[in-house]
Amino acid sequence: MTRARFTKFWTLPDRAPSNPDCLIVPSYALKDRATPTRPTRAQIELAAAWWRKFPRAHIVMCTGDNQGLGVTNARVMCEYALRLGVPRENLIEEDASRNTRENLFNAWRLAARQSARQPTLVTLDLYTRRAVATARKQGWRDFYWLSVYAEGESAYGLKAIQTHSRATILCYEMIATMYSKVVGWI
């Protein structure tokens, strides 16, 4: 089986919302204190594109300082979204989480505070399977997801290998999915 077919086998088709009111973007990683990696930028760009179609939607940028950079991923992600034209009042920083389970738990609470009717995950295509499974395990109901393709790019610190290429991202996601099953997160 070729890598492209295997990647396609691993990914889930989108479940696109008709009127998203809360877009939830878990960070994949940061390159440095001011720059999201290619996968994270692609997620933010997809969320911004949907926000342009639905300008009342809020975008929840997720992840605390899980790379030891002294700045939260959520902050760096919001700064990038601002440069794309998303107004500050439409951005929410979820800056306490350090992993997918915490990202989704905290983001769901923020979406509930916004009275979101169509909460929508915005993820890297290779990460969608694990994110959706985690959300379902946490009890999310009637939610949507959008995924985006992106090439890998080395991140800061220990995440450098995880995010280096599509192949390393896929390997990481497969291992992370198995781990999540073992510990009961999915």
Q: Is the pLDDT of residue 185 over 70?
A: yes
DSSP line for 47-113? HHHHHHHSTT-EEEEE--STTSSSS-HHHHHHHHHHHTT--GGGEEEE-S--SHHHHHHHHHHHHHH
Please count the CA atoms within 13 angstroms of the CA of 17 that sit on its side-chain side.
Answer: 24
What is the helix, strand, coil percentage profile of the chain, to 5? 45, 15, 35
38-74 pLDDT tens trace: 999 999 999 999 999 999 999 999 999 999 999 999 9
Do residues 121 and 8 touch, judged by C-beta distance below 8 A?
no
87-106 pLDDT tens trace: 999 999 999 999 999 999 99
Set out the domains of the chain in order of their start, with CATH numbers: 17-183 (3.40.50.620)
Burial level of 53, CB count in 10 A (0-12/13-18/19+)? exposed
